[in-house]
Homo-oligomer: A and B are copies of this chain.
Amino acid sequence: MRVAVDAMGGDHAPAEIVKGVVAALDDLPAGDTIVLFGDRAQVEPLLTGNWQGKVELVHCGQTVGFDEHPVEALRHKRDSSILKMAVMASEGQVDAVISAGNTGAMVAACQMKMRLLAGVNRPGIAVVMPTFHGPVTICDVGANVQCKPINLYQYARMGSLYSQHVLGIERPRVGLLSIGEEDAKGNELVKQTRQMLKADSSLNFQGNVEGRDVVRGSVDVITCEGFVGNVVLKLTEGLADGLIKLVAKEFTQACPDLAPKFEPVVKSIWRRHDYNEYGGAPLLGVAGICIICHGSSNYRAIVNAIRVSREFAKNNVNDQIVRHLAEQPIVS
- Give the chain B neighbours of A178 by CB distance below 8 A: 227
Q: A261 to B213, alpha carbons, bound, how many Å?
A: 31
Q: Contacts A188-B146, A244-B243: A238 and B254 contacting too (C-beta < 8 A)?
A: no
A330 within 8 A of B: no
The residues in A between 204 and 261 inclusive whose CB is less than 8 angstroms from any CB of B are: 210-216, 226-228, 230-244, 246-247, 250-251, 254-255, 258, 261
Q: A323 to B293, alpha carbons, bound, how many Å?
A: 48
A186 within 8 A of B: yes
Instruction: State which of B69, B215, B231, B255 has its C-beta within 8 Å of the C-beta of A239.
Output: B215
Please report whether the interface of chain A is mostly helix, strand, loop or mixed according to DSSP. Answer: helix
A132-175 interface bits toward B, Cβ cutoff 8 Å, 1 = contact, 0 = none = 10000000001001100000000000000000000000000000
- Give the chain B neighbours of A132 by CB distance below 8 A: 242-243, 246
- A residues sitting closer than 8 Å to B (CB atoms) are 66-67, 69, 104, 131-132, 142, 145-146, 177-179, 182, 184-188, 210-216, 226-228, 230-244, 246-247, 250-251, 254-255, 258, 261-262, 264-266, 268-269
Instruction: State the 7 A-B residue pairs at the shortest beta-carbon distance, nearest first.
Output: A212-B238, A211-B234, A211-B235, A179-B230, A211-B231, A145-B187, A212-B234
